Amino acid sequence: MGVKIFELVPKTELELTDLTGKRVAIDTSLFLYQFLATIRQPDGSPLTDSKGNITSHLIGLFSRTTKLMQLGIKPSFVLDGKAPVLKKAEQIRRSELKEEAEAKYKVAVKEEDTDAMRKYAARTVRLNKDMIDEAVKLVEALGLPVVQGTGEGEAQAAYLTKEGDVWAAASQDADSLVFGTPRLLRNLAITGKKKKPGQLAFITVKPELIELKSVLSTLNLSQDQLITLAMLVGTDYNYGGIKGIGPKKALKLVTEIKDKDTLFKTVEWDDSCATEWQEIFALFKEPAVNTKYKLEWSSVNDEAVTKLLVDKHDFNAERVAKTLGDLHATASQRSQKGLDTFFK
């Protein structure tokens, strides 16, 4: 879910081609969730293979990732580690919301209400370990690096960006900014022409670039103040934030009251949250990250990709072969030295 501060921050629309030659750290879980939520049948159910295994996430991952690669973008994928204990309440809340959506989906099925079926089905998305493991196998077969985070994936992606190992962190949430990523890319998984829910109209979704330096300058904040602002409006560690305080009011408060102790006393933090504010602040200021990672791009393993997608999950063999062929051809055009050199 993340921090709801996007209405305050400056954004720049990009074309995917603007990212050619750039290294990007992708928040894997959010990437897969988007595919699971959007790639569905008319009744809202996910796509599956002949054995009943869900394949929506693999379809989206293969299609989107190979497109990025063909454009000369160099993705890397970051995995969540162990979630902070303080996130447990948020995880329970999300699980309860999914259960509510599942109940409403069953009612919609009985009433044969396809719009409601799609609406509630998208809210029942669950990403399990098997799905993540197969996604990792596909990514690695495509020759792309995977980084296992120690804690939050967004914190890890932010760290890679701060270290200069990638150009930007790709996620839909503002958490990455609060974790300190210099650049945040949004809409990387959903770029393109999309149908408006429940309407015949279409919209064009483009990648958005949000630069931390510009955010802090525009809002006249320090990084510590940005963390404080996020905590006031609510994070994954204190859902809902302080009652009655939205992004604009939070900005006014952190601008006017510089001392954090005074600020949190003023907003009566202890009445809204059982956790000391210092504990949540520290999770953003000094998050747990993996500092011993390797980012190495290698050649595509056609055989491994085909074995996973075609042999195991019934993907169309000709389409997979064509996509891989296009990928090789594009890479060769970009570098006369061949695919191996291109990905190093």
- How does pLDDT run along the chain (344 residues), one tens digit per residue? 345 677 888 899 999 999 999 999 999 999 998 899 888 888 888 899 999 999 999 999 999 999 999 999 999 999 999 877 777 767 677 777 777 777 887 788 777 788 887 777 777 777 899 999 999 999 999 999 999 999 999 999 999 999 999 999 999 888 899 999 999 999 998 777 665 555 556 788 899 999 999 999 999 999 999 999 999 999 888 888 898 999 999 999 999 999 999 999 999 998 888 889 999 999 999 999 999 999 999 999 999 999 999 999 999 999 999 999 999 998 888 765 544 544 55
Q: What pLDDT score does 201 carry?
A: 62
Q: What pLDDT score does 341 carry?
A: 47
Cβ proximity of 242 and 228 under 8 Å: no
Q: Which residues in the chain are classed under CATH 3.40.50.1010?
A: 1-219
Triad 176, 72, 214: Cα angle to 5° = 35
Which residues are within 8 A (CB) of 247 and not within 5 positions of it... i.e. 6 or more apart? 4, 5, 7, 8, 229, 233
Place of tokens 């949004």: 186
User: At the topology level of CATH, where does 1-219 sit?
Assistant: Rossmann fold (3.40.50)
The verdict on domain 220-286 having CATH code 1.10.150.20 is: yes
Q: What pLDDT score does 276 carry?
A: 92
Which residues are within 8 A (CB) of 122 and not within 5 positions of it... i.e. 6 or more apart? 37, 38, 40, 44
Q: Tell me, what amino acid is at 287?
A: P
Alpha carbons 135 and 32: distance in angstroms, whole number:
8
The CA-atom distances, in angstroms, between 42 and each of 94, 219, 226, 336 are: 25, 43, 41, 45
Q: Which residues in the chain are classed under CATH 1.10.150.20?
A: 220-286
Closest C-alpha to 327, from 147, 193, 143: 143
Place of tokens 């056609």: 302
Q: What pLDDT score does 1 carry?
A: 39
